Structure 1
Amino acid sequence: MSWQTYVDENLLNTGKVKKAAIFSVDGSLWATSTNFNIGGAEVQKLVAAFTDSGDIATNGLYLEGTRFVFLKKPEDHVIYARHGANGVTCVKTNKAVLVGYYDEGIQAGDCNGVVENLANYLISTNYVSFKTFSCNIS
């Protein structure tokens, strides 16, 4: 299955994710929805936040030029952020970063579940796994 298929079928087609992208941990774009324009410095800052979330906790997380308020990092590999009624769920494995964006009308928990479940599926296939720990995301 291609990375684009994961974005289209496993994230967008659920109706629980409005926009989505999958990047390598070095910031290279693997797949994205056609209306999600993130990359470069924004992705590098996101990847760095998995190691040290201090900067985004203070200054916010910028995606598509919009400032998202950092909500929490419940695990070392998950970041939640919000901008008004919109928000993002970001999950990092040792090789990939998955980003799911939700807007008004989509519950944050629904988006969280879809993105985290896809990360768990990818881990179960032994293609991507958590780098320094193991956990069960529900």
Structure 2
Amino acid sequence: MSWQTYVDQNLLGAGFCYAAIVGHDGSTWAASPGYTVLPDEAARLAQLLGGDADTINTQLSSGGFKVAGQQYAFTRAEVDDDDGGVPTLQGRCKEEGKSAQGIIIYRTAQALIIGCHDPAYSNGASFNKANMEMGKVADYMFENSF
């Protein structure tokens, strides 16, 4: 199965309106049509999620972050999981009229898994349900050293 299948079936199928899997260097492994994560955005996020919670809070709390050219307000990060969990970052869109749109990013050994959720385009899937499905993909990639 290709990474594109994971994006199409697992992520978009779970209710994300946009999704991508990109390498830590910003190379695109798979993405939904028209969704382009810029290499510098991916590299910055991979570096931040490879650090500690204090660094993320300091770097993102006031200015947020960008993904695919869209600005997001930082809402939550988990990086110090004692259970060996996958580092995650969440945000909310800062653009007027898109404030319901949320983003979640998981960092695996080699990649970032990115999903944008908008209730208006989710086919009824909640952010929590979409997040759980993304977590399954992230766990698979993490356990298999991707």
TM (normalized to structure 1)? 0.81
Deviation at 1:56, TM superposition (A): 2.0
1:94 correspondence with 2:93: no
What amino acid is the match of 1:22?
Answer: I
Which residue in the other structure is 1:44 paired with? 43
What amino acid is the match of 1:43?
Answer: A
Higher relative contact order (CA 8 A, sep 6+): 2
1:120 correspondence with 2:139: yes
CA distance in 2, matches of 1:122, 1:38: 19
Which residue in the other structure is 1:11 paired with? 11
Which residue in the other structure is 1:68 paired with? 72
CA distance in 1, matches of 2:134, 2:61: 21
User: Are the counterparts in 2 of residues 87 and 101 from structure 1 also a CA contact under 8 Å?
Assistant: yes
Deviation at 1:81, TM superposition (A): 0.6
Which residue in the other structure is 2:30 paired with? 31
CA distance in 2, matches of 1:37, 1:27: 10
CA distance in 2, matches of 1:69, 1:56: 8
Q: Give 5+ residue unaligned stretches, structure 2.
A: 81-86, 94-98
What amino acid is the match of 1:2?
Answer: S
Q: Kindly report structure 1 stretches of 4+ aligned residues shifted beyond 4 Å.
A: none
Deviation at 1:21, TM superposition (A): 0.4
State the percentage of identical aligned residues: 29
Q: Give 5+ residue unaligned stretches, structure 1.
A: 129-138
Deviation at 1:96, TM superposition (A): 1.4
Which residue in the other structure is 1:131 paired with? none
Which residue in the other structure is 2:129 paired with? 110
Q: What number of residue pairs does the alignment pair up? A: 126
User: Are the counterparts in 2 of residues 49 and 56 from structure 1 also a CA contact under 8 Å?
Assistant: no
